[in-house]
Amino acid sequence: MSQLQLLKKAIKILKPGHEMVYSTCSILSCENEEIVSKALQGSNAKINPIEFEGKETLPLLPTKIQGTLCVKPTENYEGFFIAKIEKMKF
């Protein structure tokens, strides 16, 4: 099963009003933003921006989806991507 299929299924079974996190150990857009964008199409879900104290100190890479994070690989961090997805209430 592909990452896209897994994420679509996870969104489908997510309860309305609840959140989930999609995260990969990759900084590649094709494994992150492209998958999330396709999975959200036609779904009743949205991105909830990731906010926390100290976020501004992280070595971030630009992302194509506002509210998601992509951490740049450094001597202190491995590169990774995070998106917080909420299923909307009907």
Of the residues 1, 2, 13, 25, only one is catalytic, namely 25
Q: How many H-runs (helices) and E-runs (strands) does the chain carry?
A: 2, 4
Question: What is the model's pLDDT at position 61?
Answer: 97
Give alpha helix (H) positions in the chain.
Answer: 3-13, 33-40
- 30 is an active site residue: no
Bridge partners, residue 85, by sequence: 20, 47
Question: How many residues would you count in the chain?
Answer: 90
pLDDT in tens, 25-78: 999 999 999 999 999 999 999 999 999 999 999 999 999 999 999 999 999 999
Kindly list the structural domains of the chain, giving each domain's residue range(s) and its CATH number in brackets, ordered by start.
3-87 (3.40.50.150)
Question: What is the model's pLDDT at position 89?
Answer: 86
Distance CA 3, CA 6 (A): 5
